[in-house]
Amino acid sequence: MKYATLIASATLAGLAACATTPERMPAVEEARAKVQALAQDPMAQQAASRELVTARGTLQQAEAALEQGEAPEEVSHLAYMAARQAELGQARVDEARSRASIAQAEAERNRVLLEQRTKDAAAATARAESAQQEAAGAQLAAAAQAEDAQAARRALEELKAKQTERGMVLTLGDVLFDTAAATLKPGAELTIGRLADFLAQNPETRIMVEGHTDSQGSDAYNQELSQRRAQAVADALMTRGIAATRLTVIGRGEGFPVAANETTAGRQQNRRVEVVFSNEAGQFNAAVNPAS
């Protein structure tokens, strides 16, 4: 009788353990392996940062669903999505690596061809042809640079940025934040997304994100709030793949009003985040002073 009782107890304990320990699911294991492989690729942050962030988030949802005992179909769907996102990221990494390899091979091919032409040509003819080629290349480069600059300016104008002595400046009003808060509202997604798209298409451009407040509250509070609001905009851009090295975040507090703080309308204009754009070479105008 004691022996039977011991067997029954062990059986019940085993069933209880099975009920509390989530089963391992092959789909989740596969997704985890693919996400880890993408994360370990040296080019992932450069070529597929957005896909990596998305895949990690979806994988965490799948793991949480599995641990909480949700329906296998839901867990499997989340795992499938995470795996596909990781695969997309890996494809982007492979594409970037392939482009780099092709560019290197093309550069080497051009070097060999140029060397051969130089050997075959007379010294005087070679110098003349080189001068002509350099002149034509300089003209094409100048024309392309001017066209790129014009396209970038048009894009900034579409964002409602305005030309100032500090360069092109985009003003984001306080409608992006709740009163006395530094968390972006859902309505800010469109503006931040368009700004991120512009920066992605113009990789040499840097920006300075400046937070400003009205005069309500203490100087210290307004300084801290303006810094947090500017940082919230920068963080939102970084989650969309914009490198932190391209962003300078500054809290200006209440020190640079654009309207009188004695009226409600004036205070609303003063509560803002300004985005100052560099030129195509990543340089700001002399009037832009991070410490001012």
Which tens digit of pLDDT belongs to each residue from 148-207?
556 666 777 788 889 999 899 999 886 688 778 888 888 888 889 999 999 999 999 999
Residue that is written with structure tokens 């368009």 in the block? 194
167: region left, alpha or beta (phi > 0 left; psi from -120 to 50 alpha): left
Asked whether residue 85 is domain-assigned, the answer is yes
Asked whether residue 131 is domain-assigned, the answer is no
Domain boundary among 72, 95, 118: 95
Asked whether residue 229 is domain-assigned, the answer is yes
Asked whether residue 239 is domain-assigned, the answer is yes
pLDDT over 80 (residue 288): no
CATH of the domain at 227: 3.30.1330.60
Q: How far apart are CA 164 and CA 172, in angstroms?
A: 15
How many CA atoms lie within 13 Å of 3's alpha carbon, on the beta-carbon side? 0
Average pLDDT of the residues in 207-217: 94
The Cα angle at residue 206 between residues 172 and 138, in degrees rounded to 5: 130
Q: How far apart are CA 59 and CA 78, in angstroms?
A: 7
171 and 267, same structural domain? yes
Which tens digit of pLDDT belongs to each residue from 83-106?
999 999 999 999 999 999 999 999
164 and 63, same structural domain? no
Which tens digit of pLDDT belongs to each residue from 100-139?
999 999 999 999 999 999 898 888 887 888 887 887 777 7
166 and 89, same structural domain? no
Q: Phi and psi at residue 273, in whole multiples of 5°?
A: -120, 125
Domain boundary among 95, 111, 145: 95
What does the pLDDT read at residue 18?
42
Its pTM stands at 0.49
175 and 86, same structural domain? no
Give strand ranges (E) for 118-246. Answer: 162-164, 167-173, 207-212
- Total domains present in the chain: 2
Q: How far apart are CA 103 and CA 111, in angstroms?
A: 12
Asked whether residue 10 is domain-assigned, the answer is yes
Q: How far apart are CA 234 and CA 176, in angstroms?
A: 13
Asked whether residue 153 is domain-assigned, the answer is no
Asked whether residue 122 is domain-assigned, the answer is no
Question: What is the domain extent for residue 199?
Answer: 159-277
Domain boundary among 95, 113, 133: 95
Rounded alpha-carbon distances, angstroms, from residue 135 to 115, 123, 128, 149: 19, 18, 11, 21
Q: How far apart are CA 164 and CA 149, in angstroms?
A: 17
Asked whether residue 137 is domain-assigned, the answer is no
Residue that is written with structure tokens 């795996």 in the block? 83
| DSSP secondary structure letter of residue 217 | S
> What are the tokens at 14?
């085993």
Least confident of 8-12, 122-126, 141-145, 205-209: 8-12
Average pLDDT of the residues in 267-291: 85
Please indicate whether residue 257 or residue 7 has the higher confidence score (pLDDT): 257
